[in-house]
């Protein structure tokens, strides 16, 4: 087994690389063909069930039959692309880039690297300790920790596919802004003494990890691995999200949402942020709901605030971070990020 | 006898990594002393930021994500 793998990497690598690239291109073409057939497919499903597309149930089924394959296809493509891009980054490299950076420029860099650095909330604690103990300023570490889960490829890819590129770009810009400003504010407050004691006393060991030489094949494999890992894990969330979205599409009267979540109701933005905190979903589950809310007349700012709150302020992550942060520091974190999200929500409802 | 440490807080991948160490070592007929390091302070002391991390005879050889079996075999045989 291991011998095979070694011989595969030896001189014969060139034709093998061509083969992998050719297969990747073929898969992308197949993807495009399937994607172009989604509308007829959904119409066929609705026709097969014998439902009238004008009824509540018909509308809901049509939404579900069209959106499920569409979201899964888009997600697969985006996750593959980001899997390849992320093979060029690692949390260790990101830390080396951020160590000793001044605040300000450090916050911008950290938030941006948060988009492309592979990150899993299960390693949020080692990452936090690793960053702080290596001399990455606290505020800069927070910028990374806010941006990494919130502004990610799943959120951007799905928003782009379902709601359009304008909303996706807006989300990117304002998500980064919230991460940069919140991190900067936390840094200004000088709360280092609010870390748990043992965290402050850790000195990170020097690391001399030899970076693996990745070939083109390795990077394509990284993309496929990302699909298996991410799409394999989030698909139940997506189905649940689309089912919720389908229900909203078919059954919730549009004027109801326009009243509750419309531009006129100023209190809807803080309400959306508050409701979002205990709700825990990832971007994949929440975006089909976002699309449905928008279609029913909810204001963009309110919906964006809701989405950011659900993704960025999650109870499970706070419980994990409690191991390294005191409750006071977590409260500041929630307060600062929540205020940033509120500002985004209000700004949008006024501007658009 | 190789001294192998798997660094991680007990996540799914950390457990899978530890199992892979044992499987590959058995295949190669190498004796290993396997230890799981779950203490965050100790993990940070090795300088890694992402888990699972792998330390063989005191040297960090891997950090973040499930390692490839062929790499594992190479590290163990080295």
What's the confidence (pLDDT) of residue A203? 67
Kindly tell me if the per-residue pLDDT of A1 is higher than 70.
Answer: no
Which DSSP string corresponds to A151-170? S-HHHHHHHHHHT-HHHHHH
Kindly tell me if the per-residue pLDDT of A318 is higher than 90.
Answer: no
Tell which residue, A301, A314, A297, A292, has the closest CA to residue A244. A292
ipTM given for this complex:
0.76
Q: Are the beta carbons of A205 and B46 separated by less than 8 Å?
A: yes
Q: Are the beta carbons of A2 and B49 separated by less than 8 Å?
A: no
Which DSSP string corresponds to A16-41? HHHHHHHHHHHHHHHHHHHHHTHHHH
Find where tokens 């949020």 sit. A124
Kindly tell me if the per-residue pLDDT of A234 is higher than 60.
Answer: yes
| pLDDT tens track for A41-86 | 888 888 888 777 678 888 888 888 888 888 888 888 888 988 888 8
Mean pLDDT of A201-216: 68
Q: In chain B, what are the domain boundaries? A: 2-77
Q: Which letter does DSSP use for residue B67 in this model?
A: P
Is the domain spanning B2-77 CATH 3.40.50.720? The answer is no
Could you give the count of Cα atoms lying within 13 Å of A240 in the half-sphere of its Cβ? 12
Note whether A293 and A248 are within 8 A (CB).
yes
d(CA A316, CA A311): 11
Kindly tell me if the per-residue pLDDT of A140 is higher than 90.
Answer: yes
A3–B contact, CB cutoff 8 A: no
Residue A195 pairs in a beta bridge with A325
What's the confidence (pLDDT) of residue A185? 93
Give the one of B50, B60, B70 whose C-beta lies nearest to A90's C-beta: B50
Percent of chain A residues topping a pLDDT of 90: 14
Predicted model pTM: 0.80
d(CA A206, CA B76): 22
Q: Are the beta carbons of B47 and A204 separated by less than 8 Å?
A: yes
Q: Are the beta carbons of B48 and A130 separated by less than 8 Å?
A: yes
Strands B53-56 and B32-37: unpaired
What's the confidence (pLDDT) of residue A109? 93
Percent of chain B residues topping a pLDDT of 70: 100
The dihedral formed by the CA atoms of A312, A229, A115 and A178, expressed in degrees to the nearest 10? -10
Note whether A156 and A288 are within 8 A (CB).
no
Mean pLDDT of A312-332: 85
First to last CA, chain B: 12
Q: Are the beta carbons of A123 and B64 separated by less than 8 Å?
A: yes
CB atoms within 10 A of CB A277: 16
Give the one of A1, A133, A209 whose C-beta lies nearest to B44's C-beta: A133
Kindly tell me if the per-residue pLDDT of A165 is higher than 50.
Answer: yes
What's the confidence (pLDDT) of residue B70? 85
Instruction: Give how far Cα A334 sits from Cα of A42, A151, A162, A186, B46, Å.
Output: 42, 17, 29, 11, 31
Interface test with A, best of B8, B20, B50 (most A CBs within 10 A): B50
Closest-CA residue in chain A for B12? A122
């Amino acid at each position: 087994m291991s011998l095979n793998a070694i011989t595969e990497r030896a001189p014969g690598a060139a034709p093998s690389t061509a083969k992998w690239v050719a297969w990747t291109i073929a898969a992308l073409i197949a993807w495009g063909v399937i994607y172009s057939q989604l509308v007829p497919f959904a119409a066929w499903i609705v026709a097969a069930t014998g439902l009238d597309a004008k009824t509540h149930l018909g509308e809901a089924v049509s939404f579900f039959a069209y959106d499920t394959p569409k979201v899964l296809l888009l997600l697969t493509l985006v996750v593959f692309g980001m899997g390849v891009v992320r093979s060029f980054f690692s949390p260790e490299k990101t830390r080396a880039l951020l160590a000793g950076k001044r605040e300000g420029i450090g916050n911008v860099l950290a938030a941006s690297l948060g988009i492309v650095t592979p990150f899993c909330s299960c390693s949020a604690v080692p990452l936090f300790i690793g960053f702080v103990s290596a001399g990455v300023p606290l505020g800069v570490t927070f910028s990374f920790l806010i941006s990494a889960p919130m502004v990610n490829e799943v959120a951007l890819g799905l928003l782009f596919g379902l709601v359009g590129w304008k909303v996706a770009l807006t989300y990117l810009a304002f998500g980064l802004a919230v991460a940069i400003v919140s991190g900067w504010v936390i840094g200004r407050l000088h709360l280092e003494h609010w870390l748990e004691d043992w965290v402050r006393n850790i000195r990170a060991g020097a690391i001399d990890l030899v970076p693996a030489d990745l070939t083109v094949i390795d990077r394509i494999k990284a993309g496929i691995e990302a699909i298996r890992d991410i799409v394999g894990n989030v698909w139940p969330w997506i189905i649940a999200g689309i089912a919720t979205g389908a229900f909203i599409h078919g059954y919730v009267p549009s004027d109801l949402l326009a009243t509750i979540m419309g531009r006129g109701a100023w209190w809807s933005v803080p309400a959306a942020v508050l409701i979002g905190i205990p709700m825990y979903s990832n971007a994949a589950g929440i975006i089909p709901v976002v699309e449905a809310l928008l279609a029913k007349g909810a204001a963009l700012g309110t919906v964006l605030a809701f989405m950011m709150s659900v993704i960025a302020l999650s109870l499970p992550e706070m419980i994990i971070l409690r191991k390294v942060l005191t409750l006071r520091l977590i409260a500041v974190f929630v307060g600062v990020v929540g205020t940033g999200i509120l500002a985004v929500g209000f700004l949008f409802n006024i501007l658009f | 006898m190789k001294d192998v440490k798997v660094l991680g807080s007990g996540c799914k991948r950390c457990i899978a990594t530890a199992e892979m160490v044992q499987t590959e070592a058995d295949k190669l007929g190498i004796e290993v002393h396997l230890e799981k390091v779950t203490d965050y302070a100790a993990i940070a002391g090795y300088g890694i930021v992402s888990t699972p991390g792998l330390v063989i005879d005191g040297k960090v050889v891997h950090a973040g994500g499930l390692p490839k079996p062929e790499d594992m075999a190479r590290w163990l045989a080295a």
